[in-house]
Amino acid sequence: MEEHKDPEEEYSFLKETIKDEALKTKLKRDVLRMSWLGLIFGVIASFSFSAFHPLMDKLFKSDPQEVTIPEEKEAEDGKEEEKPEETEQQILDAQSYRQMQKSLTEIAVQAKKSVVEITGAKNTEDWTAAAEEAEHSAAGLIIADNGQQLLILGEKLSAEEAGEVQVIFGDGQAYPARLKKQDGNLGLGIYAVERSAIADATWAQIETAKLGSSKSVTEGDPVIVLGNPFGSGTAMGFGTIASTQKYQRMADGNYQFLCTDIAAAENGSGVLVNLAGEVVGIVAKSTLEEEEPALVTGYGITELKKVIELLSNGQSVPYLGISGVDVTAQVVEQGIPEGVYVKEVAADSPAMGVGVQTGDVITSIGGKKVITLAAYHQELFEKRSGEKIKLKVKRQGSGGYVDVEFDVTVGSKE
């Protein structure tokens, strides 16, 4: 006789199948719901990030990196210069000239990636005047990237011209800039463009400048000038160094000029580049000759490196306001003490404020003995604006030279 089966036991496998199907359906619904929630969350997060990113950057951005300009290595005494190996004399023809020009142009094009145009428009309501005469343009040089800003060296714009400053890069794109720090003594400043504002396409077209040594430049060296040395637009020119022996005495220092045989406009500006693609000079209005025809002349980059480093880090350039010359051995024989002879003291300068006079001979600054203007300049640039130092001079009196000491606060000229 057949055993009677329990109904629940007989249909248990159907219940399990239905249960499994219900579980799978629920699982699919949960996965689908989580996917939609994740998508919605992602969209909201994306919009929130875009909206609050600038604010968060301001609140939590790290400090800018310090800019350091490497010091130049001094030539070793007694070390003979390596003589070039003798080669067979080559016959030059038109093709050789074309190859030389092509090579120079390639160097110029690469170096030009670090050259920009700085423009400033006057504040005026007359749009026709603004279009015709209110715009000022000067060449700029990309010096460094401090992690927050791209830093650019250029001429200091006047207050009237600096209503709205923009930097135009090699790809033609213009970006707003602000004057980070300036030095009124040399007429140069550092302009800052926010990194976050620069498009990727622009980044692909620019490079930080390579700074060379103006001390290694000699007369007859080939040189390239980039920027707007001819007064408008961007251009490049080729020539040679005509002179390296001209110096301009300015407050607290003596600055080398590199003179070329390249014609320039009186309002020109730019940079001088050697055959290694390194910047060796900075051309500004103050360096151009007044007589006609004007020739491209630039500050030697060596004397500017410390100034560039200070300005790039937002620090003032130390200033006392003394123009001086070395007291040579021949002059010492005439009875003038060894040191730096004060030729002029700038009006309203820290030096004039404490009583330094023309004819004084500086013998010590900040406790360090100085006998040359170069040594005085170097010691001053180790100080900071606002720092109090002792300045010792010898002053001529009725009975000869006497020692005079001043407590002076280092200032800045901006």
CA distance 377 to 371: 11
Which parts of 339-397 fold into alpha helices (H)?
350-354, 373-380
pLDDT given at position 31: 59
Question: Would you say 218 and 241 are in contact if contact means Cβ atoms under 8 Å apart?
Answer: yes
First to last CA, the chain: 117
Q: Which residues contact 81 (CB under 8 A, 6 or more apart)?
A: none
pLDDT at 160: 52
Integer Rg of the chain from CA: 33
Q: What is the pTM of this model?
A: 0.78
Cβ–Cβ < 8 Å for 372, 284: no
Domains and CATH numbers, the chain: 112-203 (2.40.10.10), 214-312 (2.40.10.10), 322-409 (2.30.42.10)
Q: What is the pLDDT of residues 288-326, one digit of tens each?
A: 666 556 889 999 999 999 999 999 999 999 999 999 999
What's the pLDDT at 105? 93
Looking at residue 216, the DSSP 8-state letter turns out to be: G
Number of Cβ within a 10 Å radius of residue 91: 5
- Side chain identity, residue 231: G
Contact (CB, 8 A) for 256 and 299: yes
Q: According to the model, what pLDDT value does residue 23 have? A: 56
For residues 340 and 362, give the distance between their C-alpha atoms in angstroms, rounded to a whole number. 5
pLDDT tens, N- to C-terminus, the chain (414 residues): 445 555 555 545 445 544 555 555 666 666 566 666 666 665 565 555 445 444 544 444 567 788 888 777 765 444 444 545 656 666 777 787 788 889 999 999 999 999 999 988 655 455 454 444 435 788 999 999 999 999 999 988 765 555 689 999 999 999 999 999 999 999 999 999 999 999 999 999 999 999 999 999 999 999 999 998 877 667 889 999 999 999 988 999 999 999 999 988 878 889 999 999 999 999 987 776 665 568 899 999 999 999 999 999 999 999 999 999 999 989 888 889 999 999 999 999 999 999 999 999 999 999 999 999 999 999 999 999 999 999 999 999 888 999 999 999 999 998
Supply the DSSP string of 78-139, one letter for each residue: TPPPPPPPP-PPPPP-HHHHHHHHHHHHHHHHHHGGGEEEEEEE---S-HHHHHHTSEEEEE
How many other C-beta atoms lie within 10 A of the C-beta of residue 412?
19
Place of tokens 């800003």: 149
In the numeric block, the tokens 């990636």 are attached to: 113
Report how far residue 323's alpha carbon sits from residue 344's, in angstroms, rounded to the nearest whole number.
5
| Interatomic CA distance for residues 97 and 298, integer angstroms | 27
Peptide bond into 293 cis (omega under 30): yes
Torsions phi, psi of 390, nearest 5?
Answer: -100, 135
